[in-house]
Amino acid sequence: MSSQIDHVFDETRVFPPSPEFAAAAVAQPGLYAEAATDRDAFWAAQARALHWHTPFTEVLDWTTPPFAKWFADGELNVAYNCLDRHVEAGNGDRVALLWEGEPGDERRITYAELTAEVKRLANVLTGMGVGHGDRVAIYLPMIPEAVASMLAVARIGAIHSVVFGGFSADSLRSRIDDAGAKVVITADGGYRKGKVSPLKPAVDQALADRGEGAQLTVEHVIVVQRGGNEVEWTEDRDVWYHDVVAAAPAEHEAQAFPAENPLFILYTSGTTGKPKGILHTSGGYLTQASYTHRNVFDLNPETDVFWCTADIGWVTGHSYVTYGPLANGATQVLFEGTPDTPHPGRWWEIIQKYGVTIFYTAPTAIRSFMKSGRAIPNQFDLSSIRVLGSVGEPINPEAWMWYREVIGGNTAPIVDTWWQTETGAIMISPLPGVTATKPGSAQTPLPGISIDVVDDDGNEVGSGGGGLLAITKPWPAMLRGIWGDPERYKETYWEKFEKEGYYFAGDGARLDDDGDLWLLGRVDDVMNVSGHRLSTAEIESALVAHEATAEAAVVGASDETTGQAVVAFVIVKESYLAAHSPEGLAQQLRGWVGEQIGPIARPRDVYIVNELPKTRSGKIMRRLLRDVAEGREVGDTTTLADTAVMSVISAQVK
Ligand code: 6R9
């Protein structure tokens, strides 16, 4: 089967940056040429923005692909780069974290304070016998201690594995065991939707219930007091964070580690099989995280207030809450809660309160705000915003325009950033002062990044073509492997194409006539209708462009005549639901897609539902909808944010 994706969706609006923005921007057009002229020299220059205890002399070693080494003979300390060096440069009083708890409590933490905390915690970990290369699991809510814990682990050359606070004891257990963690850092509980949601019981359960012969590697559990809920206590194993940190020595000198020292493991669920422990290392990762954070978001660390809404359990929280912003000495908001607690304007209230200038969130959040209408954000002063970012899924043009108009005051450039847990940092994105942006397109590989759209053999499809997204040259923040499974690393990412060193991202994409990239969703989700390959992203965009639609997901379900048929699951805006019958709406939407894209894309079925199944990071899990559409029993739902939603959907479809 050819991997050409038939595409039909056309978007012609273009928004160039204002001349004032362009003139003052961090990233200027010359950056592309600089990177193209000498790629290694370009990345070396980016890396030198960090502090190296031992400067590197080599840039890239790609002699044994797919195993890359970046800056291999250099030595640095990641935490020193994120903390001490800002204090030593006289910026210790700058606020690092503007933390807001869900109940409305706040803490402002300066770089000097965060450095002091991390030094003590590093001493605590060392005292527990955690050393270079040991693994520490972090299972915490969005509180400052979460960021401090990541940095303390990094500071002593150990490896962290952050597990989403919303994951179950089972998921936590498999991640702790796979990594062989020595210590777990957790909390009694955290606030979620107005209540304390306990965390410690899941840790207790994950560490008990050992199967026959299963070895327990965890020796200590450090517990942050946050929820104030009662917890069970295992003497000799459990300690309170505040006790041990207060008792630890304040002095801690950051030691230098090789650039390729592992920094973290982060598990991605993928669509099938056991979660993959994606491994990242230090020098290259920090180089690209900080370079992208500065250039893509146009960061001025002295004046900007950055806010990335991602949880630290997601890669976006690693690169754009912890490492990128802190390496750049930025001031940022850290928020514990959900967007709608205690009221639906909570995020906009936070932007107004802290004067957020750069705001980075996911399309799923934007679409859910669209559903409740612009009157809510309009009650707040959002005029401080000057750059908006999107990540996690293709952002459909309708949501992009809403984001620009309602949140960005029609002026803030939107950077639609494509990347993955595996890529470690942003790979494709407009540059806000350079690129004339197009609603729905991530547009251009960043300077220093080489990406192409290719067919199954790895041949370029060229402008106007559709196919598979491939990364054609190694990049500094690339994953270095799958924890404990080098074969799976090679098979999953590097053996799809004939061409050696071509990385298979698993996403479909097309190039428009200007050569701009449009991401089309996971190739596993592509539908084949009567021999035409259709992308989920385009049909969903068409559905969302209808005034009745709030959100939509489409899947291909097997069909006797067409091979696969398009089946759509649609959330309708409340105002429409009251005035129309579901059957009438479904009929209208089928016709609408037919008109917008063409008869081939017209859904066979449109189901009106209240919810869509999403992961914690907001991605729609289409394989579960495919199960429903094909009348099968619904598969593994453990990574869903809300596991009850599938039974609701199944009931609504019957
Ligand atoms: C950062 C992150 C990676 C997958 C990726 C793609 C989708 C992310 C996107 C996007 C279109 C964007 N994705 N950003 N698709 N446009 N701007 O999300 O990492 O959780 O590993 O997911 O997310 O399908 O392959 P991760």
The more confident residue out of 607 and 532 is 607
173 is in an annotated binding site: no
Q: Is the CB of 536 under 6 A from ligand 1?
A: no
Ligand 1 centre distance from Cα of residue 418 (Å): 6
Residue of 517, 519, 520 with the most ligand 1 atoms within 8 Å of its CB, for mutation? 519
Helix (H, G, I), strand (E, B) or coil at 506: strand
Q: Is the CB of 316 under 6 A from ligand 1?
A: yes
Q: Is the CB of 421 under 6 A from ligand 1?
A: yes
Name residue 138's amino acid: I
Residue of 361, 393, 449 with the most ligand 1 atoms within 8 Å of its CB, for mutation? 393
- Going by alpha carbons, the residue nearest to atom 3 of ligand 1 is 420
pLDDT tens-place string over residues 95-115: 999 999 999 999 999 999 999
Kindly state whether residue 550 falls inside one of the protein's structural domains: yes
pLDDT tens-place string over residues 6-61: 665 677 899 999 999 999 999 999 999 999 999 999 999 999 999 999 999 999 99
Ligand 1 centre distance from Cα of residue 617 (Å): 10
| Rg (alpha carbons) of the chain, rounded to whole number | 24
Across the chain, what does the average pLDDT equal? 94
437 is in an annotated binding site: no
Kindly state whether residue 563 falls inside one of the protein's structural domains: yes
Ligand 1 centre distance from Cα of residue 470 (Å): 14
Residues 6 or more apart in contact with residue 522 via CB below 8 angstroms: 271, 506, 507, 508, 536, 622
pLDDT bucket at 474, cuts 50 / 70 / 90: very high
416 is in an annotated binding site: yes
Among 284, 625, 264, 227, which residue's Cα sits nearest to residue 475? 284
419 is in an annotated binding site: yes
For residue 270, pLDDT over 70 is answered with no
User: What domain range includes position 613?
Assistant: 530-653
Kindly state whether residue 458 falls inside one of the protein's structural domains: no
Ligand 1 centre distance from Cα of residue 115 (Å): 32
Measured between alpha carbons, how far is 451 from 428 in angstroms, rounded to an integer? Answer: 8
The more confident residue out of 483 and 209 is 483
Kindly state whether residue 304 falls inside one of the protein's structural domains: no
Q: What is the mean pLDDT of residues 303-323?
A: 97
DSSP string, 112-136: HHHHHHHHHHHHHHHHTT--TT-EE
Domain tally for the chain? 1
CATH number at residue 544: 3.30.300.30
CB contact at 8 A, 188 and 207: no
Q: Is the CB of 617 under 6 A from ligand 1?
A: yes
Residue of 360, 391, 400, 524 with the most ligand 1 atoms within 8 Å of its CB, for mutation? 391
Q: Is the CB of 507 under 6 A from ligand 1?
A: yes
For residue 338, what are its two tokens? 């959900």
Kindly state whether residue 572 falls inside one of the protein's structural domains: yes
Q: What is the mean pLDDT of residues 152-175?
A: 93
Kindly state whether residue 606 falls inside one of the protein's structural domains: yes
- Going by alpha carbons, the residue nearest to atom 22 of ligand 1 is 420
Closest atom of ligand 1 relative to the 419 alpha carbon = 1
Kindly state whether residue 395 falls inside one of the protein's structural domains: no
φ, ψ for residue 510 (rounded to 5)?
Answer: -135, 160
418 is in an annotated binding site: yes
Q: Is the CB of 141 under 6 A from ligand 1?
A: no
pLDDT bucket at 599, cuts 50 / 70 / 90: confident
134 is in an annotated binding site: no
Kindly state whether residue 583 falls inside one of the protein's structural domains: yes
ipTM greater than cut 0.90: yes
Query: CA separation (Å) from 291 to 46, 111, 283, 437, 447?
Result: 6, 20, 12, 21, 10
Measured between alpha carbons, how far is 371 from 369 in angstroms, rounded to an integer? Answer: 5
User: Quick one: pLDDT at residue 617?
Assistant: 80
pLDDT bucket at 2, cuts 50 / 70 / 90: very low
Closest atom of ligand 1 relative to the 416 alpha carbon = 17
